Amino acid sequence: MEGNAQSGAVKAPRMPTARTVTPSDIVAALKDGLSDYTAAPMFGVFFGGIYALGGLFILACLTLIDMPWMIIPVAVGFPLIGPFVAAGLYEVSRERAAGRQPQWRDVLLVVVQQRQRQLGWMAFVVLFIFWMWIYQVRVLLAIFLGFQGFSSIGDFLTIVTTTSDGLGFLAVGTLVGAFLSLVLFCTTVIAMPLLLDRDLDFVSAMIVSFRVVFLNPVAMIGWGIIVAASAIVAMIPVFLGLLIVLPVLGHATWHLYRRAVQWDD
């Protein structure tokens, strides 16, 4: 009876061990990310281009519905979905780390296969938090500025930076946005590349990601600031900077993941 119970028990997923991450690991990951980008630039341009085109498409849609000013909160929240878009870049880095030359067919096949794996569930988590970010912007706009419209991006910036209501909107919006960004960063920074690398459920992957951040708060939050600041700056020239910044950061995230966890095998 006892033997049957043991044989029918559900085996707990094998979890990696969180390792100490130092600033030197961050620098090394960035160097490795840049090396991957320069060694296989067409992959970086391709995946970065998808991200840039997505930004331009959103801008066109907002302009079409006379809400071009919304591109600012959208652009600020846009980096939140970067980790999911970077799945193909993780695969390129994994192939190069294994001493293999990345092939288009293999990389794209891995990306497509993620729909049937746990990374697809992580996409729902990412997009839900991104939706929460956009929703709270609209709510705070209604609270602080009413339901008034803005004729242009310049008009929006003038009001939110020169009026007391606008400054209140910026202050509260920054705090809420920082909280959402922190939650999503802790959830995904290690989980995304981990799920592509290993057959683990997405809840366990998120737990590992939180463990790494909690073990290395200074280094990992510093990494998050580097990623967010770089992505936002890259969007300024009509999203074109993402053709370089996104791939380098995507490759670097993979290398940081490899330094942040240790598997028994």
Pairwise CA distance, residues 184 & 188, whole Å: 6
Confidence at residue 15, expressed as pLDDT on a 0 to 100 scale: 83
Confidence at residue 95, expressed as pLDDT on a 0 to 100 scale: 92
- pLDDT values of the chain reduced to their tens digit, one per residue, 265 residues: 444 444 444 455 678 899 999 999 999 999 999 999 999 999 999 988 887 887 788 778 777 777 766 666 766 666 556 666 678 899 999 999 988 999 998 888 877 776 666 777 777 787 788 788 888 888 888 888 876 667 677 777 788 888 888 888 888 988 888 888 888 889 889 998 998 888 888 889 999 999 999 999 999 999 988 988 888 788 777 778 888 998 999 999 999 999 999 987 6
Query: Parallel, antiparallel, or unpaired for β 261-262 and 17-18?
Result: antiparallel
Confidence at residue 2, expressed as pLDDT on a 0 to 100 scale: 45
For the full predicted model, state whether its pTM sits above 0.85. no
- Two structure tokens written together for 177: 């946005």
Confidence at residue 248, expressed as pLDDT on a 0 to 100 scale: 94
43-46, Cβ contacts within 8 angstroms, sequence gap of 24 or more: 43/88, 43/89, 43/92, 43/102, 43/107, 43/247, 44/89, 44/92, 44/243, 44/244, 44/246, 44/247, 44/248, 44/250, 44/251, 45/243, 45/247, 46/88
- Contact residues for 59 (Cβ-Cβ < 8 A; gap 6+): 68, 71
Confidence at residue 12, expressed as pLDDT on a 0 to 100 scale: 57
